[in-house]
Amino acid sequence: MATPKGKYRVGLIGCGRAGAPRGHAFNKHPRCELTAIADTDPENLELGCENFGVPGYSTYAEMFAREQIDIALPILPVRPNADAVVAAARAGVRAIFCEKPLTARLEDADRMVAECRSRGILLAAGVVVSSHPDYQKAYALAASGEIGEVRRINLYEANGQGGCHGLNLARKFAGKSQVEFVTGWVEGDPFSDHEEPYDEAESGFGGIGGYIRFANGVECYSSFSEVDWRGIEVVGTEGVIYNWNNTCTGLRLRVKADGEERVLGHHDLQEAEGLFGDYSVSNRDYDEQGWRGAGAVTPGIVQAIVHSLDTGEDLPVTTGDDLRHALEIAIAMRESARRGQFAVKLPLEDRALVMYPERSRWHYKKEVHGRGWYMKQMAQVKRPASEI
C-alpha cells in the first residue's frame, strides 16, 4: 500500500557504491520515498543514514520486522542475493529490484522467481541496457514485422555474468521463445563452475559461445572470439536491427527500400532515422543534490516499476525471470562444451547446476579490492555538502 502521501515506501538493502545511487534514483521519483536502509557494513550504514536521513538496520530481517516496505532494493554481491530476494518476498513487499547477475545456481533462480510469482510480486533485475526504452521499442518493431520475419541473431559477446547482457538481449529479440537446444564452447575449462579462478577454483570457463535454436525457428550464433567488440545483429527477411555495444545505447534499424525486389546485404538497406538515440555511455554528471548521475537506464526502471504497481501491468523491463532464462542458456552452453559440443536440450533437468560469476561480483567488492579502493569509489557516489 502506498504511503498517506501517495508514495511507495522503499527499503534499500546494501547502501554501498551501487546501492546508494540506486536508492537515490528511487527517492527522486515523485511516487517513491526511501524510508529505511539495511547494511551489514557499519561504515556503509552510517554513511547511508547520514545521506538519506532514514533509520538504518544491520540486517534486512530487522528492517522488515520494523518497517512497512512496498519496494525492496537488495543491491548486493551475488552471493547473498537469492536469500535477500526470497526474504523480501516473504516480508510482503509489492515489488523488488535486485542487481545483476541474478544468482549462480539454477535452483536458487527458480526459488527467487517462484517466491515472487506465487505472491504476485514484481521482480525487476539488473541495470542492463535491455531495459532501456529504445530497446523496448526495438523489441516491438521486431515483433511487428518491421524487419520482416526474424530469422537469425548474431551475437558478439563473451556472455559473462550468466548471460545477463547478450543472451538476455538475444532471447528478447527472439520473442522470448522457448529454447529447444544449444551447442556451446568455452575459451577456458568447461569443467570449471567459475567464470574466473578464485576460492577453490583452479581454473575458469571464461567466455562462452555457441548456437541457440529457439522453438519459433530463430537461430542465434554467439561468438566471443571472431571480433573484439560486443554487439548484436537481429536479421530479418527485410531488414536488420543492430547496436554498437550490448551495454550501451546506439541501436540502428535498416530496412528494405520501398519497391526493392532483392536485398544482397546491408548496403541495399536504408537506415531509418530518428527512431533511437545515439550511442553513448551512461551520463555520470552530478545532480543538484551532489549525487552522481544514475545513468540512462535506471530512471526508466524506476518509472516502469511505479507504473506497473499503479496499473497492474506486466513489467516492460528486464525481470528476474528473464535473467533466470539467460543463466540457464549460459549453463546449457557450458554443459554442451563439457560433452564435446553435444546438443543440450532445455529446460535443463539438473537445477543444481551452478555458474559462479567473476569474483568481484560474487563477493563484496570491499573485501576483494580493499577498503582504500572501495572508499575512494564511495567518495564518488555523492559529493560532500561543501562542494555542492
The 10s digit of each residue's pLDDT in 266-281 is 677 888 889 998 876 6
CA distance 220 to 239: 16
Give pLDDT tens digits for 166-216. 999 999 999 999 999 999 999 999 999 999 999 999 999 999 999 999 999
Whether residue 319 is predicted with pLDDT greater than 60 in this model: the reply is yes
Give pLDDT tens digits for 46-68. 999 999 999 999 999 999 999 99
Whole-number mean pLDDT of the chain?
Answer: 93
What residues contact residue 50 under an 8 Å CB cut-off, 6+ apart?
A: none
Quickly state the pLDDT bin for 244 (edges 50, 70, 90).
Answer: confident
Q: What is the pLDDT of residue 336?
A: 98
Where exactly are the structural domains of the chain?
8-129+290-318, 132-271
The CA dihedral of 319, 324, 330, 335, to the nearest 10 degrees, is: -170
Q: What is the pLDDT of residue 264?
A: 62
CATH number at 132-271? 3.30.360.10
Q: Give percent above pLDDT 70 in the chain.
A: 95
Phi first, then psi, for residue 380 (nearest 5°) are: -85, -15
Give the chain's length: 388
Higher pLDDT, 287 or 26: 26
Q: Check if the beta carbon of residue 4 is closer than 8 Å to that of residue 23.
A: no
Query: Poorest-confidence range of 133-147, 239-253, 342-356?
Result: 239-253
Quickly state the pLDDT bin for 142 (edges 50, 70, 90).
Answer: very high
Which residue in the block uniquely carries the three cell numbers 526508466? 300
CA distance 307 to 34: 17
Q: What is the pLDDT of residue 270?
A: 87
CA distance 153 to 241: 10
Please choose, from the candidates 50, 95, 40, the residue with its C-alpha nearest in 3D space to the C-alpha of residue 302: 95
Quickly state the pLDDT bin for 282 (edges 50, 70, 90).
Answer: low
Helix axes 19-28, 42-52, angle to 10 degrees: 20
**Domain 8-129+290-318 part of CATH 1.20.1260.10:** no
C-alpha separations of 263 from 118, 254, 258, 267, 270 in Å: 48, 12, 12, 9, 11
Q: What is the pLDDT of residue 278?
A: 84
pTM for the complete prediction? 0.95
**Hey, what amino acid is at 48?**
G
Q: What is the pLDDT of residue 29?
A: 96
Residues facing 33 on adjacent strands: 9
- Region 118-147: mean pLDDT is 96
Q: What is the pLDDT of residue 384?
A: 78
Quickly state the pLDDT bin for 35 (edges 50, 70, 90).
Answer: very high
Q: What is the pLDDT of residue 19?
A: 96
What residues contact residue 303 under an 8 Å CB cut-off, 6+ apart?
A: 29
Please choose, from the candidates 204, 178, 189, 190, the residue with its C-alpha nearest in 3D space to the C-alpha of residue 328: 178
Give the SS3 label for residue 73: strand
Q: Check if the beta carbon of residue 57 is closer than 8 Å to that of residue 44.
A: no
Give pLDDT tens digits for 210-237. 999 999 999 999 999 877 778 999 999 9
Q: Check if the beta carbon of residue 28 is closer than 8 Å to that of residue 54.
A: no
Q: What is the pLDDT of residue 386?
A: 67
What residues contact residue 31 under an 8 Å CB cut-off, 6+ apart?
A: 2, 6, 7, 8, 306, 310
